[in-house]
A and B are shown apart, each in its own frame.
Chain A
Amino acid sequence: MKQKSDQVEGKDDIILAGKGLCKGFPGVWEHLILDHIDIDVKAGEIHALLGENGAGKTVIANCLSGFYTLSEGQIYVKGKPVTLKSPGDGIRHGIGMVHQELALVKPFTVAQNIALGLSTSDLSFPLPEVENRVRELSENYRLYIDPLARVEDLSAGEQQRAEIIKVLYHDPEILILDEPTSLISADAEHLFEALNNMAKMGYGILFITHKIEEALAVGDRVTILRLGKSMGTRETAKTDKTELVKLMFGEHTPAQLERKPVKSNNIVLDVENLEALAANEEPALQGVSFFIREGEILGFAGISGNGQSELAEVITGMRRATKGQVIIHGKDYTNHAPREIIRAGVAHIPEKRRAMGVIEPMTAAENVVLKDIRLSPFSKGSFLNKSQITRHTKEIVSRFGALVSDLWKSQTRILSGGNIQRLILGRETWRMPRCLVAVYPTQGLDAKAIDHTWELFMRLREEGSSILLVSEDLDEIMALSDRIAVMSKGRIVGIFEGGEAKREEIGLMIATGASKA
């Protein structure tokens, strides 16, 4: 290992800086993805970059590491202006990036993955040296990994260690980590310790996260990003959670939502002892039972990946239940086709809005009537009634404030995530569905759009819709839900009445996965 400590004179050596960074993607005209961002990382510090999903954190990281090219602005390494045209350029300037979607070739071993990035001759076979060096790095940084293990056989935490070792192999001086704890929430302490060690050795570390606690725990300074704009940089010692929340979300105080108690005792959605497998054939749901009454919102809290997505998919007919029942208005709809479930009055705001919510190459109008296309007045026989569709789409677009330039011309692909979500919300709720399954409905939306969505949900509730709300945002769950279910490892570990629920108690349960005593 190269000795880095001699390079650290004072703690104020800026080794990586970006000035006026701008990035716009072709076709995304609503706002710049990055809007004149200034950021710098000093040797020996951990600089946290904090923001919501869609704030532009990953884009900054990709620009600073050379994966994306900048639209405008200048990057400086140790005070010298540099132009990064590819990740290779980044590596040559000592910038190593650990991607959120790990950049590992799955069928390869750890050593093979590392060998890929070496500058040795193409006809060489450097694996033996790589294996030794990985063992050495593993030891030095206490990031234990078997160089001969195949990446696809490793756990998420191990894969991440492999990724970090891969980046360290190139002897970088600057390390960028993009949401490194999203895969390893349980193992985060271990990672923080390793990062602190590295900072002490003189690395400059840019740590990207959307979790305020993490930014405060691990960062020396924190820069807050909101919708592509920098909201300023703070020293973590001189700031606190309240200030960061304000900077991150704007002046969005969770509205005090008026609500009457649930009147009805009619059960709309009844789920009994549901079991299902995840995509990797592991059990995703294990004996999940709950019910939702007419005019009731049941919120599902929990860290994503604990079965919430699979639950929503099973209810809406997109994933097979291996056991148990889904009963809608007294009728068994277990493993029925999605179309039948839609007909039964279940609307769905899916988790992956671009992949599941819309057909990206189709136009806004086509997407808005996607589910009603067989019905009058939108079609007659085999033919579309374009004027009716236009009228209907216009109404939804204006009611939900979506920014769409041309209903029939522009592909949905070019719309921002927020605008796509507005179209989906409109499509799924205009009929006042009897039951709405909403998965992360406000993720990545700005404060105003979140308020609108919440009001919409409350109005639906008043009208008698039952809503199954999945969210990672505890404030959202607390504000909207009549009852709150906590999911952990495919089970419901507790159900609270909204009024009596204590934030801390739920938070603890989410974190530990332990059931209510």
Chain B
Amino acid sequence: MNLAYLWGIFLGSLHAMVPITLTATGEVIGESAGLFNIGLEGIILLSAMTGALGAEAAGPSVGFLVGLGTGFAIGLIFGLVCTYFKGVQLIAGVGINLFSAGLVTFWLIHLGVPGHHAVAEESQMVNISTRYGDFSPMIFVAIALPVLIYILLFRTKLGLKIRAVGENPQAADVAGINIHLLRLLSTAAGASLAGLAGAYISVNWLGSVTKEISAGRGFIALATVVFSGLNPLLVLLGGFIFGFFDNLAVWVATMPAVQKVIPWQFVAMAPYAVTLLVVTGVIGRARFPAAMGIPYGRE
């Protein structure tokens, strides 16, 4: 195993890190404000679809915007249900997942080949080629965003307000903050990053849409958020760890020597098993907003 080989794994890990880091960073905003969105998986899936369609219609940049917009729209619906209408967050989130799974499956059939749709080469986002390899521009976004969100949450008044509505909405209400609106916008902003992640997968990274394209990344992002204890900088680290194993699994599974001994399904389990281990090790130590998951009402 030489250095170039290891560098290849590292580069692959960076690309696999992007969707998880983006999604988890978004979810950190939402959870800080007290909304837990289990529908991230569905948002990634749906945005991968809409992003691909957008890219094919008007180019990769538009595809990304459409993905972002899809996430924002779903986030708005989720947020409305869970704030003004005091719905149960878990149910609303599960609803998103079911809706997306159904819609994408249907759409793929509608597009021709059931279950799979390759995004045309010219509609995909072009990676930046350097002598060290090809980098997706989204890698830099995925590294910069957690830092920006960290500054937003911990170094601005808006961040204070977001964390306050998640921790003690009553106190925030007394301080004159519009609880419902702030929670709604926080979760919608978070969901739009999941949308961006979806578009990245189909328009840039994998270049195709399948009905399993999100492959549990929404749930792994949720686990990453737990791992981070709502610190966006740790999301970056967590995202890389999971990205590394995600990528490693593909790498290992395709090695001829391994293929003969271990069925690839077992190797593909690795990132999920690691997730489980890390999260069970972390849960209980991380501190989450006291009012997370609880609808707010004054009287």
Contacts and interface: CB of A to CB of B under 8 A. Distances in A.
Nearest to A65: B174
Contact of A106 (B173, B174, B178, B290): B290
B155 A116 contact: no
Given A86-B176, A88-B176, A103 B171 contact: yes
Nearest to B175: A117
A508 interface: no
A97 B173 CA distance: 12
B285 interface: no
How many B residues are at the interface, by size bracket? Answer: 20 to 34
Contacts of A103: 168, 170-171, 173-175
B161 A116 contact: yes
A108 B164 contact: yes
Interface string A429-456: 0000000000000000000000000000
A88 B174 CA distance: 7
B157 interface: yes
B157 A107 contact: no
A222 interface: no
Interface string A121-145: 1111110000000000000000000
Interface string B147-173: 000000001111011011001101111
Contacts of A125: 155-157
Given A103-B168, A104-B168, A107-B287, A126 B157 contact: yes
A335 B190 CA distance: 47
Q: Is the interface of B mostly helix, strand, loop or mixed?
A: helix
Given A97-B174, A104-B171, A105-B167, A67 B298 contact: yes
A171 to B, nearest CB: 14
B164 A68 contact: no
A88 B172 CA distance: 10
Contact of A68 (B160, B176, B298): B298
Interface string A81-115: 00000111001000001010111111110001101
B160 A86 contact: no
A144 to B, nearest CB: 22
A32 to B, nearest CB: 14
B177 interface: yes
A105 B172 contact: yes
Nearest to B287: A107
B207 to A, nearest CB: 38
A256 interface: no
B122 interface: no
Nearest to B289: A107
A120 B168 CA distance: 21
B157 A124 contact: yes
Q: Is the interface of A mostly helix, strand, loop or mixed?
A: loop
Contacts of B173: 67, 86-87, 103
B168 A123 contact: no
Contacts of A118: 157
B287 A122 contact: no
Nearest to A86: B176
Interface in B273-299: 287, 290, 298-299
A116 B177 contact: yes
A107 B153 CA distance: 14
Contacts of B157: 115-116, 118, 120-126
Contact of A105 (B155, B158, B168, B178): B168
A118 B156 CA distance: 12
A100 to B, nearest CB: 12
A25 interface: yes
B173 to A, nearest CB: 6
Most central of A97, A103, A105, A108 by chain B CB within 10 Å: A105
A165 to B, nearest CB: 13
B84 to A, nearest CB: 15
Interface in B126-162: 155-158, 160-161
Contact of A122 (B158, B167, B168, B176): B158
B164 A116 contact: yes
A101 B170 CA distance: 10
B174 A67 contact: yes
B172 A116 contact: yes
A122 B175 CA distance: 14
Contact of B174 (A99, A108, A115): A99
B216 to A, nearest CB: 32
Contacts of B177: 88, 116-117
A120 B299 CA distance: 28
A112 B155 CA distance: 11
Interface string A459-494: 000000000000000000000000000000000000
Contact of B160 (A25, A67, A116): A116
Most central of A102, A115, A116, A121 by chain B CB within 10 Å: A116
A103 B167 CA distance: 11
B176 A107 contact: no
A440 B36 CA distance: 38
Nearest to A68: B299
A25 B155 contact: no
Contact of A87 (B176, B290, B299): B176
A477 B284 CA distance: 44
A63 to B, nearest CB: 11
A116 B175 contact: yes
A105 B171 contact: yes
Nearest to A87: B174
B174 A124 contact: no
A429 to B, nearest CB: 33
Nearest to B162: A122
Contacts of A102: 171
Q: Please give me the 10 A-B residue pairs with the lowest Cβ-Cβ distance, nearest first.
A: A88-B176, A117-B175, A122-B158, A103-B171, A103-B174, A116-B175, A105-B168, A87-B174, A105-B164, A105-B167
27 contacts: A67-B298, A68-B299, A86-B173, A86-B178, A87-B173, A87-B174, A87-B175, A88-B177, A102-B171, A103-B175, A105-B163, A106-B168, A107-B167, A107-B287, A108-B167, A113-B171, A113-B175, A116-B164, A116-B171, A116-B172, A117-B174, A117-B176, A118-B157, A121-B157, A123-B156, A124-B157, A125-B157
Given A113-B175, A122-B157, 14 more contacts: A68-B299, A87-B173, A88-B176, A103-B171, A105-B172, A108-B163, A112-B160, A113-B171, A116-B171, A116-B177, A117-B176, A122-B158, A122-B161, A124-B157
